[in-house]
Structure 1
C-alpha cells in the first residue's frame, strides 16, 4: 500500500531523534527566565528514548515509501521526521502501518 498525505502510521525513534526531542525540552525547561506565557511552543513531555514507537501523520510523500512525518510525542510537542522509509516493526528511523488487532 502506498502512503498518502494525512494517513497515520507508527514511527520508531532513533538515538538522534530522541536526543533532538530531549534537547528541545531541556532548552525550554532550563531557560534563565523560567517557563512563561510568551506564546511560544512549550516543549515538555516524558523523556524520549531510541526504540520508542509513536503515531505519526504523513505530511508529504515522495513516491514509493519515502515520507515526511509529524510524530505525535508523549508531551505537548511533535517531531518532524523527514525522508523516512517504511521498515519492519521496531526498526529505528522507519515507519510501519499500524497493526490490526
Structure 2
C-alpha cells in the first residue's frame, strides 16, 4: 500500500528526533523558570510542553507530503504526548527508528 496525504501512520522516534523534541521542551521549561508563563505567551510563540521523548517511542503521524506516487518517502506531522507536534521530513516505510509503518489492524 502506498501512502497518501492525510493518512495516519505510526512513526518511531530516532535518538536525534527525541533530542530535538526534548530540547524544545527544555527551552520552554527554562522560560517558565525565568517567569515566562503560558498565559503571557497567549499571542506569542508556542511553548512546548509534554512528556519526555525517547528513541523507540511510537506516535501517530499524519502524512502531509509524498514526493513521488511510486515512493514510500513522506513528510509527517507526528502527534506527540504534549501540546506540540514534530515535523519528520523525508521518512520512509520500514521498521525501527526514523521510519513509519502502517498501523496494525486490531
Given the two structures, how large is their TM-score scaled by the length of structure 2? 0.89
1:78 pairs with one of 60, 78, 85 = 85
How many residues were matched structurally?
99
* Alignment equivalent of 1:56, drawn from 44, 50, 61: 61
Aligned match for 1:44, one of 49, 55, 58: 49
Residue aligning to 1:35: 37
Q: TM-score, length-normalised on structure 1?
A: 0.93
More helix by share: 2
Deviation at 1:35, TM superposition (A): 2.2
Q: CA RMSD in A?
A: 1.0
Q: Is there any run of 5+ residues in structure 2 with no aligned partner, and where?
A: none
Mind listing any 5+ residue stretches in structure 1 that lack a counterpart? none
